C-alpha cells in the first residue's frame, strides 16, 4: 500500500520522503486567482499555510519528488467551478502540467472531461468532495476519465471492499490519520474560513426537534452530535484497520494535514510506515490492535474514541475482518 502525504513547502518535502511517503499532494494558488476576485476556493483551503507559496517552489518540490522516484498530485478539489472561472483554470493547469505534476485530485466532472481531452497523460483522482459512496458512482466517474478514487471518510472497510471488488481497474485510496469529521464532506456546505482555524464542525451546537418529542433515532443523533464537543477531530486515526484495508485491496493510505506543522506530518508518515510493516509481520490481530491503540495514545496524548476512529467497526473489541460485500 502507498502512503500519500500532504506537503506545503520544499523544506518539509524531503523530510516526508525520507520518512517513507510514496506520494505527496499539495495546493498552489496563483496570484491571478486573487486578482480576479473569484468567489470560490481553488482547492478547499483558505489559509496561506496550506498552500505552496510560489510556482518556483512547486517546481522544486516536483523535481525533488521525482528524484525519489515518487509522484506529486496537485489539489483542485472544489466541488464545482463556474464557466467564468474556466479560462483562468485551464491556463493555470497548462502551466502546472508543464511543471511536471503527475496527477490531479478533483471533484468537478465537467472540469474533468475538459482536462482529459487537454491533458490525457496525467492521472486523475476523484476527491472525497466528489462523494463517491458506491460502485455505481465510481463507475460513472470512471466513464468521465477518473482512474483513482479517494473514498469518503464515513465508509466502513466492508463498504470499501465492495467498491474495490466491483470496480476493477480503478485504484481506491482510504483515509488513515487526522481530520476525522462528523459530516459527510461531499455534502457539507460549511465554510472553513475562520482566521482562528476553528471549523464549523468543531463548534458545539444544539439540535432541537420542531415537533414535540424526538424519535429514538433522532435522540441518538443528538447524543452523538453533543459528544463531538468532547473530542478532537484532529485525533482521527485508522491504524487498527490497516490489515483489513490491505486485504480489501485499498491502494493508498491518505494522510490529512495540509497546513499542519511539518513535524506532525512527518510523525504521521513514520507511524503509518511502522504499522504497514507491522501488519505484514504480525498474525495476531488482537496483539496488532493493542499496539495500534497504544500508538494512538502516544501520538495524540488521548485514548481512542469512536468519534475519531475512522473505522469504528474495529473500535469496540477484537475480531479479524474477513472481507466480503455489503
HEC string for the chain: CEEEEECCCHHHHHHHHHHCCCEEEECCCCHHHHHCCCCCCCCCCCCHHHCCCCHHHHHHHHHHHHHCCCEEEEEECCCCCCCCCHHHHHHHHHHHHHHCCCEEEECCHHHHHHHHHHCCCCEEEECHHHCCCCHHHHHHHHHHCCCEEECCCCCCHHHHHHHHHHCCCCEEEEEEECCCCCCCHHHCCCCCCCCCCCCHHHCCCCCCCCCCCCCHHHHHHHHHHHHHHHCCHHHCECHHHHHHHHHHCCCEEEECCCCCCHHHHHHHHHHHHHHHHHHHHCCCHHHHHHHHHHHHHHHHCCCCCHHHECCHHHCCCCCCCCCCCC
Grid coordinates in use for 156?
466502513
β partners of residue 125: 105, 148
What is the average pLDDT across 78-91?
89
pLDDT score, position 321: 33
* Residue 32 binned pLDDT confidence (cut-offs 50, 70, 90): confident
Q: Considering only CA atoms, which of 135, 134, 127, 205 is closest in space to residue 167?
A: 135
Mean pLDDT, the chain, as a whole number? 89
69: left (phi over 0), alpha (psi -120 to 50) or beta: left
pLDDT score, position 40: 62
Does pLDDT of 323 surpass 50?
A: no
8 A C-beta contact, residue 194 and residue 47: no
Best mean pLDDT range from 61-70, 83-92, 174-183, 190-199 = 61-70
CATH 3.20.20.70 fits 2-186+204-314, yes or no: yes
pLDDT score, position 35: 58
Q: What angle do CA 52, 55, 56 make, to 5 degrees?
A: 105
What is the average pLDDT across 30-53?
77
Cα 173–chain centre separation = 8
What is the average pLDDT across 36-52?
75
Q: Which residue has the cell 467498491?
A: 163
Grid coordinates in use for 44?
478547499
Q: Which residue has the cell 424526538?
A: 214
Model pLDDT for residues 210-242, shown as the tens digit of each residue: 777 788 888 888 888 888 877 888 899 999 999
Residue 322 vs residues 158, 172, 241: alpha-carbon distances, Å? 9, 19, 12
What is the average pLDDT across 8-29?
97
Residues 62 and 57: their CA atoms lie apart, in Å, by 9
Does pLDDT of 326 surpass 50?
A: no
Does pLDDT of 104 surpass 70?
A: yes
pLDDT score, position 84: 85
Does pLDDT of 106 surpass 50?
A: yes
Radius of gyration of the chain (CA): 20
Residues 54 and 31: their CA atoms lie apart, in Å, by 9
Q: Distance between the two ends of the chain, CA-based, in angstroms? A: 23
Neighbours of 292 (CB within 10 A): 24
Q: Which residue has the cell 507491522?
A: 278
**pTM for the structure as a whole:** 0.90
Residues 205 and 225: their CA atoms lie apart, in Å, by 8
Neighbours of 170 (CB within 10 A): 20
pLDDT score, position 248: 97
By percentage, how much of the chain surpasses pLDDT 70? 94
pLDDT score, position 92: 95
pLDDT score, position 222: 83
pLDDT score, position 324: 33
More confident residue, 79 or 116: 116
* Residue 39 binned pLDDT confidence (cut-offs 50, 70, 90): low
Model pLDDT for residues 260-318, shown as the tens digit of each residue: 999 999 999 999 999 999 999 999 999 999 999 999 999 999 989 888 999 999 886 43
pLDDT score, position 233: 83
8 A C-beta contact, residue 165 and residue 190: no
Model pLDDT for residues 124-177, shown as the tens digit of each residue: 999 999 999 999 999 999 999 999 999 999 999 999 999 999 999 999 999 999
pLDDT score, position 322: 38
Residue 316 vs residues 24, 289, 298, 305: alpha-carbon distances, Å? 33, 11, 20, 10
What is the average pLDDT across 58-64?
98
Amino acid at each position: 500500500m502507498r502512503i500519500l502525504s500532504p506537503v506545503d513547502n520544499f523544506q518539509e518535502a524531503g523530510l516526508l520522503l525520507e520518512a517513507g511517503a510514496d506520494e505527496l499532494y499539495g495546493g498552489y494558488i496563483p496570484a491571478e486567482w486573487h486578482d480576479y476576485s473569484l468567489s470560490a476556493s481553488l482547492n478547499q483551503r483558505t489559509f496561506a499555510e496550506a498552500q505552496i507559496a510560489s510556482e518556483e517552489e512547486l517546481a522544486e518540490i516536483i523535481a525533488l519528488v521525482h528524484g525519489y522516484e515518487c509522484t506529486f498530485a496537485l489539489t483542485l478539489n472544489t466541488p464545482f467551478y463556474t464557466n467564468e472561472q474556466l479560462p483562468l483554470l485551464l491556463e493555470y493547469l497548462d502551466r502546472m502540467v508543464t511543471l511536471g505534476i503527475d496527477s490531479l485530485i478533483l471533484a468537478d466532472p465537467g472540469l474533468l472531461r475538459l482536462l482529459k481531452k487537454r491533458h490525457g497523460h496525467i492521472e486523475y483522482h476523484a476527491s472525497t468532495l466528489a462523494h463517491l459512496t458506491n460502485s455505481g458512482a465510481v463507475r460513472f466517474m470512471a466513464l468521465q476519465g477518473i482512474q483513482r478514487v479517494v473514498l469518503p471518510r464515513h465508509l466502513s472497510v466492508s463498504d470499501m471492499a465492495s467498491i474495490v471488488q466491483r470496480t476493477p481497474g480503478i485504484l481506491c485510496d482510504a483515509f488513515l490519520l487526522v481530520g476525522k469529521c462528523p459530516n459527510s464532506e461531499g455534502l457539507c456546505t460549511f465554510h472553513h474560513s475562520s482566521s482562528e482555524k476553528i471549523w464549523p464542525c468543531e463548534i458545539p451546537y444544539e439540535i432541537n426537534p420542531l415537533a414535540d418529542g424526538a424519535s429514538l433515532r433522532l435522540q441518538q443523533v443528538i447524543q452523538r452530535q453533543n459528544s463531538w464537543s468532547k473530542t478532537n477531530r484532529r485525533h482521527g486515526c485508522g491504524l487498527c484497520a490497516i490489515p483489513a484495508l490491505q486485504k480489501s485491496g485499498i491502494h493508498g493510505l491518505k494522510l490529512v494535514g495540509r497546513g499542519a506543522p511539518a513535524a506532525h506530518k512527518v510523525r504521521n508518515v513514520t507511524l503509518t510506515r511502522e504499522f504497514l510493516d507491522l501488519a505484514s509481520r504480525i498474525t495476531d490481530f488482537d496483539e496488532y490492535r493493542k499496539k495500534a491503540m497504544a500508538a494512538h495514545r502516544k501520538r495524540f496524548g488521548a485514548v481512542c474514541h469512536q468519534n475519531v476512529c475512522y473505522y469504528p467497526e474495529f473500535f469496540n473489541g477484537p475480531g479479524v475482518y474477513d472481507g466480503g460485500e455489503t
